[in-house]
Structure 1
């Protein structure tokens, strides 16, 4: 009988407070993965002091274009094997992982700038993608990514008709970033109403709800293979760079004119 191979999970935590719920949720993910016999890799970006600001100072002068062009500079450094050490470390983790689970809060209607900067620096042109290896031909086909995100707003406020904006749309640019690399993107796991202004009974209710979420998380990870995905248009749904008239629209970001 053939033995099942070990799954490698990369957990990326993006929160500056080690006592935050996001940190506890990431810890619950790690415990759940380890209980299943998985190998776990960790990137706690704030604890690592990861620098999210891309720029020419990270690269050897021979790789830097004048004027500075981020794509050309990354490509030259990747081909020469001279990417920044912190970036190369993260790249090695992403390449080793079968799945990535991102834990982060939603701030100002988007993931934290630290996570955006991690994408800009780590998902390097010429190393993690290029013109011929993206979307359906991405280098990370067969791998998955899951967002575990918190919002301060209530679930109703984050719905499609909510005052805070549709959280699925707010997270779509990050989802499409991983889609660009070839990942299968799972529908985000969201926990709402997580903020520090609850008092009295409301605070106790929140704390109990969050504890219940952490307890239930082990089963969610156990059922990971059955989690729903985010639909995207395949490459052949486009013609001359635009969505074909007979192709479905899966998002308001890529849609037919009314």
Structure 2
């Protein structure tokens, strides 16, 4: 059971629906005995750009600056900037991380992307040896909770925005699962700005209900790292390919084996 929760929150207005969703999570999880911390990125004026300023003192190679290598060294030597170190401490303590945001251009807002870029440094959050199912955060859970500017029908397999499962793959697999997190199914609030207040209240009640059992939820399923051959470009091992050859659907949204995408692979656990 998660006892320490970190909510990474990105919205400019305390009167927003996102703020109400964040507040509902804080209240419900605190009531369950959790210690909840909130990183309110706009209120913190969190720096979104990953630059050499994130390193205290001289960088190793200013002429050919490589952010990943330089911040790894800085992390090892305790020379990352204070704002990054503070967030890394919160993340280290947390058992569950909830990212709360309005979806911008099919992804997270720039300030939250900056948090991901700057806080999840090489060495601290991931490495070549420790990633995906063997990742450094494999004992932690994480989830996306967000609002959209389009109705659910527009994010369907036949909708103009395309399948939301495809939209979520880079965020949930490429960032969260890459760092080892057990990824809980996302909480999606479809187009709250285009529905009546009664519908928004219903959305919030549904979220409060989910929060009662959130700590015990099963995570989404991802193909384990050892199913891939590292000596052959991390391709799916032949025995696993053969095992799934007769299946109607691929393994996941991204690892689809040339087959139809498995329905709701990034939306619901156990699907």
The equivalent position to 1:135 in structure 2, one of 103, 122, 132, is 132
TM-score normalised by length of structure 2? 0.85
Rate the CA distance shift 1:228–1:150 in 2: closer, same or farther, 3 A.
Answer: farther
1:55 to 45, 48, 51: 51
Instruction: Report the RMSD for the aligned CA atoms in angstroms.
Output: 1.8
Residue 166 of structure 2 aligns to a residue whose secondary structure is: helix
Map of 1:237 onto structure 2: 227
The number of aligned residues is: 246
Deviations 1:147-206 (A, max 9, x none): 1111111111112222112222212211121111111001111111223xx4xxxxxx52
The alignment status of 1:217 with 2:207, answered yes or no, reads yes
Is the CA contact 2:57–2:79 (under 8 Å) kept in the aligned structure 1? no
User: How big is each residue's C-alpha offset from its partner over 1:204-230, in whole Å with a ceiling of 9 and x where there is no partner?
Assistant: x52111112223322211111443532
User: Are the aligned partners of 1:63 and 1:76 in contact in 2 as well (CA < 8 Å)?
Assistant: no
When structure 1 is superposed on structure 2, of 98-107 and 220-229 the one drifting more is 220-229
Distance change in 2, residues 1:210/1:223 (3 Å): same
Distance 1:174 1:159, change over 3 A: same
Instruction: Name the SS for the 2:98 alignment partner.
Output: strand
Instruction: Report the counterpart of residue 115 of structure 1 in structure 2.
Output: 112
Matched, 1:100 2:76: no
* Cα distance, 1:121 vs structure 2: 0.2
120-129 or 25-34, larger mean C-alpha shift:
120-129
CA–CA distance in 1 between the matches of 2:144 and 2:48? 19
> Is the CA contact (8 Å cut-off) linking 1:231 and 1:250 kept in structure 2?
no
Q: TM-score, normalised by structure 1?
A: 0.89
Conservation of the 8 A alpha-carbon contact between 1:6 and 1:37: no
- Of the candidates 178, 181, 184, which is equivalent to residue 180 of structure 1? 178
Residue 201 of structure 1: aligned partner: none
CA distance in 1, matches of 2:51, 2:6: 26
Structure 1 residues without counterparts, runs of 5 or longer: 199-204
Q: 1:250, 1:55 → 2: CA distance?
A: 37
Runs (4+) off by over 6 Å: none
Residue 123 of structure 2 is matched in structure 1 by 126
3-state SS of the aligned residue for 1:163?
A: coil
Q: Any idea what SS the aligned residue of 2:196 has?
A: helix
Displacement of 1:24 after TM fit? 0.8
Q: Which moved more, 1:207-216 or 1:15-24?
A: 207-216
